[in-house]
Chain A
């Protein structure tokens, strides 16, 4: 690359990074300060004193704390005894949250598929979960987040020289289980700090899944804030602002909780090391058995229920009538599909085009940012690039809506595209940055020695060697765009209709067939792209002979 072209790339890249990403994020964070400061007003304390608001706060806190803990420990228990993940884990990531929630509801809630098809189980399922309950929402979030946490845990384990560590620990006299919990567990917690924070923040600000299967008397705080923000009275708007402030604070509290849990666990492990008291065999045995059951049950339950939920969606979308206490439906019909076909296709087209643009834009953005890093030899702080994932989504989008509110009415598609791009960038960063940074510059040097120009070396060597992770990052961004609900519904001002918006609307309604149909349609795009992406990534995967590590 000539000096002039190099300078142009640097200036363009910095401008793009600042204008599209850093500035809007910075403005939103600055915008959150006066909103958060509103908690010092006397009216705010009256607002927070309302029992229903306090209940909503409590629900959000539970959603921010329990799912990451449950998913984290299930993953640790499962992987403390194995080094491999079941093959079926990866495709589970393609199952959208809303579709999973609708499927789980239609499967397990009273009157669902399981209670009808399993003889004599009607009373059991009546007593297992109550429709629209906090406990069911926690279970749905736990099982839905588990594949993500498992994959992140496996990646962290894969990047550590576990074989050598285990051998060292064995020569020091450690049993394998002691070695895992005293030495590997603290390492994992540090590596998983960010993914667990992402899960915690998702729990605090979840709206779509909570609308489908969560409690509504009252609902979680995020659902109520969205409701207030869509009512146009001064009082509702004021409540929405206070709610946003509370969500922001709640986000900080759950992040603090994740950090505190990590510190306590590391402190425990450190004390175990410094005091050297071996845990009694009985305690170890009990713990091992408990962990084995919980880890195995959680992971296989997640796989089984995702498959069953998918099957339930297909089934329920073609049922005409299914009287209670009968094992199989009485009548089948395609009429729901016929009536809704045009709507579904339109929503899928709009979603697909949006996702195509967002995924490509996010990938280009991240690659430019990572190349800027490589050129300047300075790393962008990960925390900055992942900020959109560790601020409650609703708080962020609500602030943007306040800023661009009027403009979003004139160009809603553009604002939705931009907001989705911000979130997709963070996910692409999370997926790609570590692999991209690991790429050895020696390869480029080798190419240049052989006579390649800078651009040729980059395209023919670096891009080719990193093609598999780039494809996977693109599929992740595509899925993220399909699944994003809040930016679409808030900044789209009701005029950008994606399949997720439709699936959430029908999922929280009363028509089971329509809920199943739209939820199934929501699965289609991410699943097709994921399968295609995985196939392409496998085809283009290159193993770095220097590290022996496949770059995907």
Chain B
């Protein structure tokens, strides 16, 4: 069963003596969403980057990260099986939606199996009609959907969302937010969501203020 366990987490700017974030213990179970909420500059995004193994040089980060019971904080990003959806969708602009999704397919299944899996993903996320489109002609909402589909197709054990709705306009944000939480619930992924917008907090989610 996949779950994310964090122990003794401490995120601190090297130039400061007091930590920005301290999390003595946090466990996110399968299907659960935990929201980390705080103002800009409070170290939320830095925590997520450190969790995927991309710590910034100006930060001192320490603690224990376990994914599905396995300690991963010494592993490279590629081996952690932690998905990350950043503020921008960061779709590769020279690839079509289909190719963007293909680049997230893990494993060495047969080409036929990969194609079937890809089509199932396109259908399940309701983006099949976009499959041959280039990212630069898509709306913000469409790009957000493709980015989440791509992250989930990668079969991560845990999902991190770094203010994923902040680049969207108000009307689209509402719709994409509901759609995203529905997809995450369907996948049952333990999810850590970072935001500074109170509207982004889903129902029944545990909220941690930093």
Interface residues of chain A, those whose CB is within 8 Å of chain B, are: 161, 164-165, 167-175, 182-183, 186-187, 190, 270, 273-278
B154 touches A182 (CB 8 A): no
A450 to B5, CA, bound (A): 54
> Is B116 located at the chain interface by the 8 A CB criterion?
no
Q: Which of B52, B107, B156 contacts A276 (CB 8 A)?
A: B107
Near A by CB (< 8 A), chain B positions 78-118 give 78-80, 82-84, 86, 88, 90, 92-95, 99, 102-109, 111, 114-115
Closest residue of chain B to A170, judged by CB?
B77
Closest residue of chain B to A163, judged by CB?
B54
> Is B53 located at the chain interface by the 8 A CB criterion?
yes
Chain A residues within an 8 Å CB radius of B151? 171
- The secondary structure that dominates the A interface is helix
B93 touches A187 (CB 8 A): yes
Contact A274/B102 with A164-B88, A190-B94 known, Cβ cut-off 8 Å: yes
A164 touches B102 (CB 8 A): no
Contact A273/B53 with A171-B77, A175-B78, A190-B94 known, Cβ cut-off 8 Å: no
Q: Which of B79, B90, B94, B109 contacts A161 (CB 8 A)?
A: B90
Closest residue of chain A to B107, judged by CB?
A276
> Is B39 located at the chain interface by the 8 A CB criterion?
no
Contact A170/B54 with A161-B90, A277-B108 known, Cβ cut-off 8 Å: yes
Contact A172/B106 with A165-B92, A187-B94 known, Cβ cut-off 8 Å: yes
Q: How many chain B residues have a CB neighbour from A under 8 Å? A: 34
A186 to B95, CA, bound (A): 9
| B139-170 near A? 1/0 per residue, CB < 8 Å | 00000000000010010100000000000000
A170 to B156, CA, bound (A): 12
Chain A residues within an 8 Å CB radius of B82? 171
Give the 7 A-B residue pairs with the shortest CB-CB distance, closest first: A170-B77, A273-B102, A187-B94, A173-B78, A164-B90, A172-B104, A275-B111
A182 to B105, CA, bound (A): 13
> Is B69 located at the chain interface by the 8 A CB criterion?
no
A171 touches B84 (CB 8 A): yes
Q: Which of A170, A187, A277 contacts B92 (CB 8 A)?
A: A187
Q: Which of A161, A167, A175, A276 contacts B84 (CB 8 A)?
A: A167
Distance (Å) between the CB of A131 and the closest chain B CB? Answer: 44
- The secondary structure that dominates the B interface is loop
A186 touches B114 (CB 8 A): no
A273 touches B77 (CB 8 A): no
Distance (Å) between the CB of A163 and the closest chain B CB? Answer: 9
Closest residue of chain B to A160, judged by CB?
B93
Contact A273/B88 with A171-B154, A173-B78 known, Cβ cut-off 8 Å: no
Interface centre among B52, B53, B78, B105 (most CB of A within 10 A): B78
Distance (Å) between the CB of A187 and the closest chain B CB? Answer: 4
Contact A170/B108 with A186-B94, A187-B94, A274-B114 known, Cβ cut-off 8 Å: no
B103 touches A172 (CB 8 A): yes
Distance (Å) between the CB of A259 and the closest chain B CB? Answer: 15
Chain B residues within an 8 Å CB radius of A277? 108
Interface centre among A170, A173, A190 (most CB of B within 10 A): A173
Chain A residues within an 8 Å CB radius of B90? 161, 164-165, 168
A190 to B92, CA, bound (A): 13
> Is B8 located at the chain interface by the 8 A CB criterion?
no
> Is B76 located at the chain interface by the 8 A CB criterion?
yes
A76 to B95, CA, bound (A): 19
Closest residue of chain A to B92, judged by CB?
A183
Interface centre among A168, A170, A174, A175 (most CB of B within 10 A): A168
Closest residue of chain B to A168, judged by CB?
B90
Chain B residues within an 8 Å CB radius of A187? 92-94
Chain A residues within an 8 Å CB radius of B77? 167, 170-171
Contact A276/B108 with A171-B82, A190-B94 known, Cβ cut-off 8 Å: yes
Chain B residues within an 8 Å CB radius of A174? 78
Closest residue of chain B to A171, judged by CB?
B84
Chain B residues within an 8 Å CB radius of A175? 78
Closest residue of chain B to A169, judged by CB?
B103
Sample of 22 A–B contacts (CB below 8 Å):
A164-B88, A164-B90, A165-B92, A167-B49, A167-B52, A169-B103, A170-B52, A170-B53, A171-B78, A171-B80, A171-B151, A172-B106, A183-B103, A187-B93, A273-B99, A274-B102, A274-B111, A274-B114, A276-B105, A276-B106, A276-B109, A276-B111
Q: Which of B53, B78, B94, B115 contacts A274 (CB 8 A)?
A: B115
Chain A residues within an 8 Å CB radius of B80? 171
Closest residue of chain B to A277, judged by CB?
B108
Closest residue of chain A to B100, judged by CB?
A273
Chain B residues within an 8 Å CB radius of A161? 88, 90
A190 to B93, CA, bound (A): 11
Closest residue of chain A to B84, judged by CB?
A171
Distance (Å) between the CB of B71 and the closest chain A CB? Answer: 18
Q: Which of B83, B88, B102 contacts A171 (CB 8 A)?
A: B83
A362 to B83, CA, bound (A): 50
A277 to B109, CA, bound (A): 8
B103 touches A182 (CB 8 A): yes
| B16-27 near A? 1/0 per residue, CB < 8 Å | 000000000000
A175 to B78, CA, bound (A): 7
A278 touches B108 (CB 8 A): yes
Chain A residues within an 8 Å CB radius of B102? 270, 273-274, 276
Near A by CB (< 8 A), chain B positions 28-73 give 49, 52-54
Chain B residues within an 8 Å CB radius of A165? 90, 92
Chain B residues within an 8 Å CB radius of A164? 86, 88, 90
Chain A residues within an 8 Å CB radius of B108? 276-278
Closest residue of chain A to B104, judged by CB?
A172
A190 to B195, CA, bound (A): 36
A270 to B118, CA, bound (A): 14
A190 to B90, CA, bound (A): 18
Chain A residues within an 8 Å CB radius of B156? 171
Distance (Å) between the CB of A211 and the closest chain B CB? Answer: 40
B154 touches A170 (CB 8 A): no
Distance (Å) between the CB of A186 and the closest chain B CB? Answer: 6
Contact A270/B99 with A170-B54, A275-B111, A275-B114 known, Cβ cut-off 8 Å: yes
Chain B residues within an 8 Å CB radius of A170? 52-54, 76-78
A274 to B102, CA, bound (A): 6
Chain B residues within an 8 Å CB radius of A171? 52, 77-78, 80, 82-84, 151, 154, 156
New A-B pairs, 19, CB < 8 Å, besides A168-B84, A183-B103, A276-B106: A161-B88, A165-B92, A167-B52, A167-B86, A168-B86, A169-B103, A170-B52, A170-B78, A173-B106, A174-B78, A183-B95, A186-B94, A187-B92, A270-B99, A270-B102, A274-B111, A275-B114, A276-B107, A278-B108
A168 to B89, CA, bound (A): 10
A452 to B83, CA, bound (A): 50
A270 to B94, CA, bound (A): 11
